[in-house]
Chain A
Amino acid sequence: MSQAPGITVKGRAEIGGARLFAPLTLELAPGAWTCLLGGSGVGKSTILRLVAGLETEAAFTGDISASDGGPVAPRVGYMAQDDLLLPWASVAQNIALGPRLRGDPTERDRLAGLMARVGLNEHAQKRPYALSGGQRQRVALARTLMEDKPVILLDEPFSALDARTRAEMQDLAVELLAGRTVLVVTHDPGEAARLGHSVQVMTPEGLTEVTPPKAAIPRGVDAQETLACQADLMRHLMALAA
């Protein structure tokens, strides 16, 4: 993996002439986790899809650039709420999806190493339906790591998991994605309070930065400052709704 660049998203978006979000600037610091928090329909996922170079419903006017001047979309790894595992392929085949889709040979050692790191060694030949929700997200995480991209986009990746599994996955993701520029789109204030080096609350009017605790991520689920930040974010969201 090359040095992770910072990413800047600057612009506005409309859907069918109606405003999706006002002109905004979102800065993703290099090698850091940025959490984009907001309610449904404010365009969080649109921003993420724009960075990933995917099609969106919205018309975007503006610019998405990397701090090193390089291209953005080809250096992005993407992980969605739906784990998007191919049900007919084994765990190992799913993790090696990227090379398989490019027609490249799979680096066996790297594959084995990744499976070990996410704790799926014994499940290599299983089909996804034989796995639990948490295990499936581990496969998705390993698949993302297999791509070895410097910029990682997570679209509510853990929201379908139970509370305990979610916390475990957050810990694992922080450990394994260290050094990469990460954007997490979430509607969970707790997640943002645990994971964000920078936390942005998104509304149709734009972004509001909320200062997260100083502690290193992943912050303790029971740490006083994490809970205070979570409460603070919750207040922001509720004030917006009012």
Chain B
Amino acid sequence: MTRALIKAWPALAATAFALAIWQAIVTLSGVPRFILPAPALVAETWWTNRWVIAEHAWITAVEVFLGLGIGALVGVATAIQLATSRYARLLVQPVLVFTQALPVFALAPILTLWLGFGLSSKVLMCVLIVYFPVAASFLDGLLRTPPGYLDLARTMQARPGQVLWRIRVPAALPSLASGLRLAAVYAPIGAVIGEWVGASRGLGYLMLLANGRSKTDLMFAALLTLGVFSVLLHLGVRALTRRMVREEV
């Protein structure tokens, strides 16, 4: 714990410094609170609205976890499928790239139209945003198996299925890990965009609502919550995937 504290202190100090500057600017310039609320006010608003924020944060978290989970699973399945079939690669890869050329943001209104204002449209947004980095990086790893391993497998009259599960997939896990880390950063973005386009719950919705009523302090409080959530999610995924990578050492 103390070691973690020692490691984290520059970041903590920088944060404290930034907050101090922020507070000083607000106090000295006299900016109205609906333009830029002071950090102390944001903290106060956060505390008084903690249950409301928590409720909305919970919704966003559920969307993100579902989206991340489903997107990662589908991405992994796609990568394995494509890795084992040259035909599938020829057929699917261009489509895959094309879908990535479409900004997911542009799809949000359509998804909301199709799936409604509920959870599913946000989860699907997350899935779409998570899917590509996971599929692409894992596929890349699966296609870059060290050739020596494959030579060895060949001289052992290995079965392709066994080679896939015992050599190619484990050798590609570090690539999958980096895809998942990237996906964890993107996933909350997907959920929030979905909520902006049409929702009655979630942090994105709360931010829009607060903004519309000039409750800038509440907006900042929601934004901060989202930021903390995203950082925790990133750290969580990193901790999980670190084990995946460590096994490769």
Q: Which residues of chain A are near B3, meaning CB under 8 Å? A: none
Residues 64-118 of A at the B interface (beta carbon under 8 Å):
73-74, 76-78, 80, 82, 84, 86-89, 97-98, 100-103
- Docked pose: A89 CA to B171 CA in angstroms: 11
Tell me if A210 is interfacial: C-beta within 8 Å of chain B. Answer: no
Contact residue among A86, A89, A102 (Cβ-Cβ distance under 8 Å from B156): A102
Binds A, one of B20-28, B63-71, B158-166: B158-166
B94 within 8 A of A: no
With contacts A86-B149, A86-B167, A100-B166 taken as known, whether A54 is within 8 angstroms of B159 at the C-beta atoms is: no
Q: Is the beta-carbon distance between A97 and B170 smaller than 8 angstroms?
A: no
Tell me, rounded to whole Å, the shortest Cβ–Cβ distance linking A218 to chain B.
Answer: 25
Q: Give chain A interface residues in 4-57, CB to chain B under 8 Å.
A: 49, 52-54
Chain A: interface secondary structure? mixed
> Is the pair B249, A129 in contact by a Cβ cutoff of 8 Å?
yes
Give CA–CA (A103, B149) in the complex, Å: 17
Q: Mark A164-200, 1 if CB is under 8 A from B, else 0.
A: 0000000000000000000000000000000000000
Q: By the criterion CB–CB under 8 Å, are A84 and B152 in contact?
A: yes
- A232: interface (CB < 8 Å): no
Chain A residues lying within 8 Å of B161, measured Cβ to Cβ, are 103
List, in ascending order, chain A residues with CB within 8 A of B166's CB. Answer: 86, 89, 97, 100-101
User: A78, A100, A127: which contacts B151 (Cβ < 8 A)?
Assistant: A78
Cβ of A147 within 8 Å of any chain B Cβ, yes or no, is yes
Q: How far is the CA of A89 from the CA of B158 in the complex (A)?
A: 17
Nearest residue, chain A, Cβ from B149 = A84
The interface residues of chain B, by DSSP majority, are classed as helix
- B157 proximal to A (CB < 8 A): yes
Contact A53 B155 (CB under 8 A): yes
Q: Once A and B bind, how many residue pairs between them come within 8 Å at the CB atom?
A: 66
- B159 and A102: CB pair below 8 A? yes
A87–B248 Cα distance when bound, in Å, is: 6
| B157 & A74 in contact (Cβ 8 Å cutoff) | yes
Does B213 sit within 8 A of A, measured CB to CB? no
Complex-state Cα separation, A82 to B148, whole angstroms: 8
CB neighbours (8 Å) of B158 from chain A are 98, 101-102
A86-B167, A87-B249 as given contacts; A78 in contact with B157, CB under 8 Å: no
- A49, A88, A98, A147: the one within 8 Å of B247 (CB): A88
Q: What 1/0 mask marks residues of chain B from 220 to 249 whose CB sits below 8 Å from any chain A CB?
A: 000000000000000000000000000111
Q: Which chain A residue shows the least CB distance to B170?
A: A88
B36 CB–A CB distance under 8 Å: no
Select from chain B the residue with minimum beta-carbon distance to A140.
Answer: B152
27 A-B contacts, Cβ less than 8 Å apart?
Answer: A52-B155, A54-B155, A73-B155, A76-B155, A82-B148, A84-B146, A84-B148, A86-B149, A86-B171, A87-B247, A87-B248, A87-B249, A88-B170, A88-B173, A88-B248, A97-B152, A97-B156, A97-B166, A98-B158, A101-B156, A101-B158, A101-B162, A101-B166, A102-B158, A102-B162, A103-B161, A127-B249
